[in-house]
Amino acid sequence: MRTVRTVKRLAWAACATAGALAAAACGGGAGSGGSGAVLSSSWGDPQNPLEPANTNEVQGGKVLDMVFRGLKRYDPRTGKAKNMLAERIETTDSRDFTITVKDGWKFSNGEPVTAKSFVDAWNYGASLRNNQKNAYFFGYIEGYDKVHPETGAQSADTLSGLKVTGPRTFTVRLNQKFSTFPDTLGYAAFDPLPSTFFTDHEGWIAKPVGNGPYRIESYTRGSAMNLKKWDGYPGPDKARNDGVTLLVYTDNNTAYTDVLAGNLDLVDDVPATQLKNVRTDLNGRYINTPAGIIQTLAFPYYDPKWNTPGARKVRTGLSMAINRKQITDTIFRGTRTPATDWTSPVLGADGGYKAGLCGKACTYDPAQARRLVREGGGLPGGQVRITYNADTGSHKQWVDAVCNSINNALGNDKACVGNPVGTFADFRNQITQHKMSGPFRAGWQMDYPLIQDFLQPLYYTNASSNDGKWSDKRFDHLVDQANAEGDPARAVQLFQQAEGVVRDNMAAIPLWYQNGSAGYTDRLHDVALNPFSVPVYDEIRVG
Amino acid sequence: MSEKTIERPTTDEAALAKELEAEEKAAARQASLLRDGWADLRKRPLFILSALVIVCLLALAIAPSLFTARSPFSNGFCQLQNSMNGPGSGHLFGFDVQGCDIYTRTVYGTRNSIVVGVVTTIATTLIGGLLGMLAGLIGGWVDMLLSRITEVFSALPIIIGGLLIMSIWRTGDVWTVSFIMAILGWPQVFRIMRGEVISNKYNDYVMAARALGADSWRIAFRHILPNTLAPVIVITTMNLGVYISAEAALSYLGIGIQSPNISWGLMISDAQDRFLTSPHALLFPAGALSLTVLAFIMLGDVVRDAFDPKMR
């Protein structure tokens, strides 16, 4: 069984700041035209043109979520993948899938959405020459190694695993068994594309055309994007407002004060500095819900010091020396939740989240921590240095707090120190070049709400986001079994067993789940964040 | 004949003695210029004030443990449950984000600030002074070369230079920061020194000494150096304060002193994003920094007033 290539996804912190370079467009208020039911929302310029397979940061993702609909859509509340454009996705062996597209769907330019719209889009996204950031999402499909080889030139233009079999049907053959593959199809990379995307690419980039409840009216880089409700939208989730104006802010503090002043309707990601007063400021119009992000401390298993049975005890001891509750309460003011497993609460119990799976190993217990570290032969090298990047996401505060917690618990003020690396890029380079000598910061934002996405890319042998090169035969075997399992409930159980292996070895120390937050004015109703921490715009009512 | 041959040197010797005497007189006049300045200084209240503050700061820097019962490096010094608590009994300045006592950290941070200031000042004065003198004295291609090198260094902004060096070293402490600032700060002293040396080089008394056969080293150190010292002393005293604040700026930006070392700039940086809700964590280290910088700049100011001949 081959592992599937996944690109490093620890970039979430960098993503949050992407596009924050242009000048702020404050003022302005709600959109142009004077339509009353248009809301304004804080935004940042997308990093890349809005090609679905090339957008892996949250600001571009926000727009794609409004102007596109895929085969599946993740329920904004439960995170469950539900059929959207898919009429049926059938398989008998968890490897060959037959997908039938619903009738009656159109792009906003009138072109019908067919099986070909999907297959062409996926081939485009996977092809090396198009250099799409999300290409690795197609890595499960047979023939990916031909159209997107790791090195050298591609030997095919299209994925051999994709075949159009009718106007509304196509087949997908995967390169391994992957029973939950249909549930990954809600990700933007799998969105369909109209033929104008290929025939008039420049024109499409200038004004993207999709099949979602909104149409892009205009976009001025560094200032604003106007989206209008598409009246002809055939889907069930029609927009309940007349449009959304996304205003570019470089500083979310400014956006926040604009919400207080009534110049802006919605700010997502309330700045940390305002968290103390946000509830009174906004009179309850504040959301703080778990997002699909977990923070962990990963370890370098390529360093023999950390790859011993004793080091396993040391890692567990370190985990028990961290007072997660106190750190999330004081440093993060409750916008993080102490982690008790290696997934995320947004999966829900059915999806594989299991509160307390980590058990005692994630419970603060200084005495036990001291004992385990001693039994494990003490800290490798006498000291742990937690490596992190100093440029984004104010990691210093929590790293210092974690170190203080470990030092206090172990009764040694030199047990743990932070080791900042100047830039995120340098930090990532040092990780990929295997230069870590101790624990390092790892953040994982899910690609789709499946337990598989929290385990396989991170802990499977040689999975390419397995930065610490952890390897365990039992874990690999359980993941293989889970992927081959046709019954979703049974697959989840197998994944949880695999997660148990991660726990028993403390392959990575889970720290906390990250929350998403938003604040809004009293003009808006029914504001919610989806599992990706993006506001569910189509449900918002204005007035 | 032999008597005459002996006699001649004696007359020469007498002339030399006279010359020496004149030289000593010049030196005495120089010394009295310094003495004049010192007498002038002592009378200035601003000097007494800044000197008092600096003496206190030096005491803090030398023996911080006399001023606080706690040690910021002891185990259990930072307790997260105290995070951001305001000033209270036993904790004069309150606590920072990590629940560490701000008073103790501010006291212990003094040493790093003073050491960086003093070390950088000494280093820039030595490098800049020595090279400036060489350039001024020798002139020609040496002057040309050194001046161009100076321009290269002074064209490099301190922040970019700091980033560059820190990205190579990766760890920041007092010595790396002093090194960065010395490397980027010496051109200023160089220029002043070189200018002073050139303007003094052709003064009558130097010409006289040269005519009387004094060698170049003697001229350089006995005649030129004392006359260039005053401006250099003035600029270095003023720079001391500037370097202390530059250290804080570098540390604030994360390219200076790094934790677990303590620096006021670092403390300010850590406290800034909670300034609106708990200002105390920022105000105390910032106040200490302002006071220190102010004391040194004030000192530099009065020293200039006292020593600069142009101000008289």
Q: What is the pLDDT of residues B282-310, one digit of tens each?
A: 999 999 999 999 999 899 888 888 876 65
Contact residues on chain A for B74, CB-CB shorter than 8 A: 413
C-beta atoms of A422 and B166 within 8 A: yes
Nearest to A403 by CA among A418, A388, A382, A421: A418
Q: Are B113 and B289 in contact (CB under 8 A)?
A: yes
A496 vs A133: which has the higher pLDDT: A496
**Whole-number pLDDT of residue A300:** 96
A327: which chain B residues are within 8 Å (Cβ-Cβ)? 80
Assess whether pLDDT exceeds 50 at residue A29. no
- Indicate whether B187 pLDDT > 70: yes
Does domain A290-515 correspond to CATH entry 3.10.105.10?
yes
* Mean pLDDT across A255-270: 92
Give residue limits of the domains in chain A. Answer: 1-67+212-285+521-543, 70-197, 290-515
CB-based contact A408 B73, cutoff 8 Å: no
B99/A330 CB distance under 8 A: yes
Fold (topology level) of A1-67+212-285+521-543:
D-Maltodextrin-Binding Protein; domain 2 (3.40.190)
Is the separation of the CB atoms in A539 and A520 below 8 Å?
A: no
Chain B hits for A390, CB-CB cut-off 8 Å, are 254
Closest Cα in chain A, distance from residue B189 (Å): 31
Question: What's the CA angle centered on B212, arms B208 and B216, to 5 degrees?
Answer: 85
Q: Pairing mode, if any, of strands A224-229 and A384-389?
A: unpaired
Mean pLDDT for A65-73 is 95
When pLDDT is averaged across residues B150-164 and rounded to a whole number, the result is: 85
Output the CA angle A54-A60-A62, nearest 5 degrees.
Answer: 130
| Cβ pair A401:B170 closer than 8 A | no
What mean pLDDT comes out for the span A198-209?
A: 94
A272 contacts in chain B (CB < 8 Å)? 273
What is the percentage of chain B residues whose pLDDT exceeds 70?
88
The predicted structure's pLDDT at residue B23 = 64
Mean predicted confidence (pLDDT) in A495-509: 96
pLDDT confidence of B227, banded at 50, 70, 90?
confident
Is the Cβ of B276 closer than 8 Å to some Cβ of chain A? yes
* Residues of chain B neighbouring A330 (CB-CB closer than 8 A): 80-81, 83-84, 97, 99
Q: Mutation test of the interface with chain A: which of B70, B71, B75, choosing the one with the most A Cβ atoms within 10 A?
A: B75
pTM of the model: 0.78
Average of per-residue pLDDT across B122-138: 93
Q: What residue ranges do the domains of chain B occupy?
A: 14-65+94-311
State the pLDDT at residue B5. 46
Instruction: Check CB contact of B160 with chain A, cutoff 8 Å.
Output: no
Report the alpha-carbon distance of residue B51 to residue A487 in Å, rounded: 81
Cβ separation of B84 and A426 shorter than 8 Å?
A: no
Per-residue pLDDT at A48: 83
- Tell me the percentage of chain A whose pLDDT exceeds 70: 93
Q: Give me the phi and psi of A391, to 5 degrees please.
A: -85, -30
Tell which residue, A261, A277, A370, A270, has the closest CA to residue A317.
A370
- Which ipTM score applies to this complex? 0.72
Q: Report CA A131 to chain centroid distance, whole Å.
A: 20
pLDDT of amino acid B218: 83
Mean pLDDT check: name the lowest of A400-414, B47-61, B264-278. B264-278
- Hey, which of A157-161, A288-292, B21-25, B73-77 has the most confident mean pLDDT? A157-161
Q: Do A412 and B270 touch (CB under 8 A)?
A: no
Q: Which pLDDT does position A531 carry in this prediction? A: 85
pLDDT at residue A26, rounded to an integer = 34
For A427-462, write each residue's pLDDT tens digit.
888 998 999 999 999 989 888 889 999 999 899 998
Examine the pLDDT at A541 and tell me if it is beyond 60.
Answer: yes
Give pLDDT, residue B312.
53
Mean pLDDT (whole number) for A149-161: 92
Nearest to B188 by CA among B218, B232, B148: B232
Q: Which residue of chain A comes nearest to B83, CA vs CA?
A: A330
Position B42 scores a pLDDT of 85
Assess whether pLDDT exceeds 60 at residue B178.
yes
A22 pLDDT higher than 60: no
Domain B14-65+94-311 CATH class label: mainly alpha
- Closest CB to A413 among B74, B80, B83: B74
Q: What is the pLDDT of residue B161?
A: 82
Residue B81 is nearest to which of A326, A413, A418, comparing CB atoms? A326
Q: Over range A395-406, report the average pLDDT.
A: 92
Could you give the 3-state DSSP secondary structure of residue A48? coil
Q: Which of B96, B160, B171, B259 best probes binding to A when mutated, by most A CB atoms within 10 angstroms? A: B259
pLDDT of A24 strictly over 60: no
Chain A residues close to B78, C-beta within 8 Å: 404, 408
The answer to whether the beta carbons of residues A511 and A344 sit under 8 Å apart is no
- From CA B219, how far away is CA A192, in angstroms rounded? 86
CB B269 within 8 Å of CB B203 = no
Closest chain B C-alpha to A327 CA, distance in angstroms: 7
Task: For residue A536, give every residue at least 6 positions away whose Cβ sits within 8 Å of its Cβ, in sequence order, or none.
Answer: A76, A527, A528, A529, A530
Residue B30 has pLDDT above 60, yes or no: no
Q: pLDDT-derived band of residue B243, with 50, 70 and 90 as boundaries? A: very high
Give the whole-angstrom CA distance, residue A155 versus residue B85.
64
Longest CA–CA span in chain A (Å) reads: 70
Residue B24 has pLDDT above 90, yes or no: no
Higher-scoring residue by pLDDT: A39, B169: A39
B73 at interface of A, judged by CB pairs closer than 8 A: yes
Give the residue from chain A lying closest to B165, CA to CA: A422
The answer to whether B289 faces chain A, any CB pair under 8 Å, is no
Specify the pLDDT at position B22.
Answer: 65
Res. B204: pLDDT tops 50: yes
pLDDT of residue A253: 83
- Look up residue A363 and give its two tokens: 């419970």
Question: In B, which residues are within 8 Å of A405 by CB distance?
Answer: 80
B294 CB burial (10 A radius; 0-12, 13-18, 19+)? middle
In A411-459, which residue ranges form alpha helices assigned H by DSSP? 424-432, 451-459
CB pair distance less than 8 Å for A418 and B259: yes
- Which strand (E) or helix (H) includes residue A480? helix A473-484
Nearest CA in chain A to B255: A422
For residue A273, give the nearest of B75, B99, B276 by CB distance: B276
Q: CA–CA separation, A4 vs A139, rounded Å?
A: 6
DSSP string, A407-420: HHHHT-TTSEEEEE
Partner-chain residue, chosen from B77, B97, B259, that has the shortest CB–CB distance to A331: B97
Q: Render A85-145 in DSSP notation, one character per residue.
A: SEEEEEESSSSEEEEEEPTT-B-TTSPBP-HHHHHHHHHHHH-GGGT-TTGGGGGGBTTHH
Arithmetic mean of pLDDT over chain A: 88
Write out chain A residues lying below 8 Å of B275, CB-based.
Answer: 273
- Minimum mean pLDDT range among A58-72, B155-169, B195-209, B264-278: B155-169
Average pLDDT rounded to a whole number, residues A293-309: 94
B270 touches chain A (CB under 8 A): yes
A16-30, A85-99, A367-381, A514-528: segment of lowest average pLDDT: A16-30
Cross-chain Cβ contact B273/A273 below 8 Å: yes
Residues of chain A with pLDDT > 90: what percent? 69
Residue with tokens 């210093």: A396
The predicted model gives A198-215 an average pLDDT of: 95
In CATH, the number for domain A70-197 is: 3.90.76.10
The neighbour count for residue B88, using CB atoms within 10 Å, is 11
Comparing alpha-carbon positions, the chain B residue that sits nearest to A387 is B170
Residue A533 φ/ψ region, left for φ over 0, alpha for ψ in the -120 to 50 degree band, beta for the rest: left
Rounded average pLDDT over A80-95: 93
Q: How far is CA B237 from CA B122, B179, B306, in A?
A: 10, 18, 13
What single DSSP character describes residue B221? I
SS3 B227: helix
- Which of 178-237 (B) contact A at CB < 8 A? none
With a cut of 90, say whether residue A270 has pLDDT above it: no
List of chain B residues whose C-beta atoms are within 8 Å of the C-beta of residue A323: 80
Q: Which residues of chain A neighbour B162 with C-beta distances below 8 Å?
A: none
- CB-CB under 8 Å, A422 with B80: no
Least confident interval from A79-88, A133-142, A391-400, A404-413: A391-400
pLDDT, chain B, mean:
84
Q: Residues A283-301: what's their mean pLDDT? A: 92
**Whose CA is closest to B292, among B300, B281, B282?**
B300
Mean pLDDT of A110-130: 95
Q: A214-220 and A224-229 as β-strands: parallel, antiparallel, unpaired?
A: antiparallel
B168 touches chain A (CB under 8 A): no
Chain A nearest-CA distance from B280, in A, is: 15
User: CB distance A396–B270 less than 8 Å?
Assistant: yes
With cut-offs at 50, 70 and 90, classify the pLDDT of residue A1.
Answer: very low
Backbone dihedral angles phi then psi of residue A220, each to the nearest 5 degrees:
-115, 115
Q: Is B32 an 8 Å CB contact of chain A?
A: no
Q: Among A294-298, A388-392, A506-510, whose mean pLDDT is lowest?
A: A388-392
Most B-contacting residue of A253, A257, A270, A273 (CB-CB within 10 A), to test interface:
A273
* Closest-CA residue of chain B to A330: B83
